[in-house]
Amino acid sequence: MRSVDIDTITFDTGSFTVTPDQAARLSTIAAAINQAIRANPQEVFLIEGYTDAVGSDVDNLSLSDRRAQSVATVLTQQFQVPPENLTTQGYGEQYLKVNTQNASRENRRVTVRRITPLIQQGQGQGQGQGQGGQPPR
């Protein structure tokens, strides 16, 4: 599924804080998400967090999770996006936007991805079992 890079939200080294000026910039994304949810209450959006390549893999994975969660929290608390329509995932330093091992603000970012089709596809599995509980061939 395509993702939307929220270019206006980047993080200081080691930080998962969304500053007030950056939080205000989430209004456009929040409006689009809320519009989609009004049209289909089953919509689900994945907030993905990333880090740059500086630091340990374990720390970066934890930090990226916190970044995704911070953005989701801003979307729910300030823009009334229903929390049940959001999920978060951190990827640490995987998928660098700028391929560098140095500190890079552009890599300390979040993206938003509409994952509704993936979830609906997953819910369809397990149905349509053949006789005897065997999956159809």
Structure confidence at residue 6 as a pLDDT band (50, 70, 90): confident
- Domains of the chain: total: 1
pLDDT > 80? residue 136 = no
Domain range for 120: 3-124
Structure confidence at residue 2 as a pLDDT band (50, 70, 90): low
Query: pTM for this structure?
Result: 0.84
The answer to whether residue 132 sits within a structural domain is no
The answer to whether residue 134 sits within a structural domain is no
pLDDT > 80? residue 45 = yes
The answer to whether residue 130 sits within a structural domain is no
More confident residue, 25 or 125: 25
Mean pLDDT of the chain: 87
The answer to whether residue 136 sits within a structural domain is no
pLDDT > 60? residue 71 = yes
- Give me 24's structure tokens: 């205000």
